[in-house]
Amino acid sequence: MSLVVPAVLPSSRQELEEKLALFSRIPSVDRIQIDVVDGRFATPASWPYNAPTEQQHIIASGQTLPQFDRIEYEIDLMCVNAEEAAAAWLALGARSFVFHAESTTSLPRLLSSVRTRLGAGDGSMSGLVSYGIALNIASDLALIERSLGEVAYVQFMGIARIGRQGQPFDERVFEKVRVFRERHPAIPVQVDGGVSFGNAKKLIALGVSHLVVGSGILRAADPVAALNALEELRSPFGV
């Protein structure tokens, strides 16, 4: 599996399709993260929350995400009622989901609802559906400790304000990852937000399995070259 997970934060269906077409043409890309922002848990609202009927029309017509048989689509659910949103994306072919610990008053209850709704347990369902939990930069690790046995991986946010691409990298994530890896060396870790070639090497050295990169690729003069340069830093801790 690739080190780099390119991320898309779509403002429209057209933008989503254009970015997915770009990434799906790159042979090394086997996983793409789609950021979903509801405008409540995080702002501003992204697609499909800013066009609420479009996704249901797509599902009803039987359409799916492109090349979902080759590419694992991971949906980063920055929203309340995340289990409902996950069910809609599951119908489109997504098979991996990130739930934010701060989006609910009870993470164990949320994950229990996810197991019921998606049929996934222990973070995966026979390799078909997997999910992880994300933790904001300012949140304490204690928020997720009780739920680690329920998920396949943990995503640490590398930015202070989630829901927007192009935010500055917050170096506090280095210490967060270091402490977590000491406590839980077997649990895969990915970092999302502000990741660049400049900080990627240190993240990898700390044991990060995957780098989720959005603007660091999309705003580069040559997005494919930028992605490949990061991929060449492949981590020995990869899953």
Q: Is 238 domain-assigned?
A: no
Q: Is 66 domain-assigned?
A: yes
Number of domains the chain contains: 1
Question: pLDDT tens for residues 153-172?
Answer: 999 999 999 999 999 999 99
> Over the range 68-104, which residues count as b (16 or more CB within 10 Å of their CB) and which as e?
eeebbbbbbbbbeebbebbebbbbbbbbbbbbbbbbb
Is residue 120 over pLDDT 80?
A: no
Decide if 19 contacts 59 (C-beta within 8 A): no
Structure token digits, residue 76: 């980063």
C-alpha 5/C-alpha 222 separation (Å) is: 17
Decide if 181 contacts 204 (C-beta within 8 A): no
Q: What is the CATH number of the domain that holds 204?
A: 3.20.20.70
Q: Is 155 domain-assigned?
A: yes
Q: Is 50 domain-assigned?
A: yes
Structure token digits, residue 219: 């705003």
Q: Is 211 helix (H, G, I), strand (E, B) or coil?
A: strand
Closest by Cα among 56, 117, 67, 119 to 94: 67
Q: Which domain holds residue 166?
A: 4-231
Average pLDDT score over the chain: 93
pLDDT score recorded for residue 117: 82
Q: Is 237 domain-assigned?
A: no
Question: pLDDT tens for residues 44-90?
Answer: 999 999 998 999 999 999 999 999 889 999 999 999 999 999 999 99
Q: Is 143 domain-assigned?
A: yes
Q: Is 57 domain-assigned?
A: yes
Question: What number is the average pLDDT over the span 170-187?
Answer: 98
Q: Is 236 domain-assigned?
A: no
pTM: predicted TM-score of the whole model, two decimal places = 0.93
State the Cα angle at 129 between 239 and 192, rounded to 5°: 50
Instruction: Give the rounded percent of residues in the chain with a pLDDT score beyond 70.
Output: 94
